[in-house]
Amino acid sequence: MNISAPPAVPLGAGVVKRSTRLDDDRELIYYDDPDTTLGPERAVDARTLDPRPETATMRQDVLTGDWISIAASRQNRAFLPPAELDPLAPQTPANPSEIPSRYDVAVFENKSPSFGPALAEAFGGAPAAADPPRGIDDLAHLGLGRTRTSVGRTEVVCFSPEHAGSFGTQTVTRARTVIEAWADRTAALSALPGIEQVFPFENRGEAIGVTLPHPHGQIYAYPYITPRTTRLLDSIDRTAPDLFQRILEFEQAGPRVVLRGEHWTAFVPFAARWPIEVHLMPHRHVADFAETNDAERDELAPLYLRLLRGIDALYDTPTPYIAAWHQAPVRHARDTARLHLQLTSPRRAADKLKFLAGSEAAMGAWIGDIPPETAAARIREAVEGVTL
């Protein structure tokens, strides 16, 4: 087996970063825990891979202005493989997975990306985009039949080498390493050409559509400001620049807080859409993970674990969810749009899910099943019973 020793870059909390490349030139980054048992050497990718696919194309919906990425290569991604063929586990002779070496936390470019490289010289020799966006104003223009290459980047964040689990099943130390990775990747992706917004998230559970049980999340780097964030910025413009601080103080004074620390507060929002919905917000204004300080990251690791384990304690089986970390756009509203988590689950009972039917799916007109105050009381009780 060929091995190398990628250069070590120290980050916060004793985490060490080591960058290398896969056989098709996709970037792979190892983040070693502060108490890691791993040495500095890493195995070299032993596979012979096909060239990277062409970057996907996105089409504009002229009725809404939304851009829809058409990424046909995603049809070939793995679907619930057995443990011995886990593509996110360390490589073995019988399992030619995506990660050559044993690892603590690993981040790599998705093999079948929804948003792909824009410029060959800027993205490690990947195919150049044929028709990249020409900035925010270009994308905002409305017209029939408009297309652009889906420039950007999508990355997979592996929380552990184990086959099954989630962020909530990790140790406090490992959670802190992942948070450091989120901050590092947010800064790096924000610096890439053509990127307008960076979005870390975790999908958990088959009911959400997860196709790999391996504990992992993803990071999307978009060439535009997403529709949800666009509406958020409009609300800020129509109310006040300190809207997020007002929301935080309003919730802290009310009955929907489920967990509070020195630097973060978790609460069920006043107008929650989902049966389970919790927002987690920093007390200080920060635009994204890259702007958080060590104290905020240190507290977030155990606090976020307590929240996730409390959500799992609501029922006898693990709860499916989407954990969406909303960050400010790369170049806009940095002083008004605040980093925050929106954790949602369709689970409305032990054996029942909320499905989006006509009003929600077609019209975006939501009908809540559970009063937010009732949901907050249940989650708060569950979280209080969690020990780390």
Residues 317 and 280: beta-carbon distance below 8 Å: no
User: Which residue type, as a one-letter code, is found at position 365?
Assistant: A
Q: Which two tokens stand for residue 327?
A: 């960050």
- Alpha helices by DSSP H, 144-226: 172-190
CA 170 to chain centre: 16
Token pair 């007390």 is found at: 283
Per the annotation, the verdict on 326 as an active-site residue is: no
Residues with Cβ < 8 Å from 375, sequence gap 6 or more? 268, 272, 275, 276, 277
d(CA 105, CA 85): 19
Of these residues, 141, 214, 216, 279, which one is catalytic? 216
CA proximity to 85, closest of 94, 75, 76, 77? 94
Q: In what order do the strands lie in the sheet with 147-149?
A: 67-70, 57-60, 147-149
Contacts of 351 (CB under 8 A, 6+ apart): none
Which residues have a catalytic role annotated?
Answer: 216
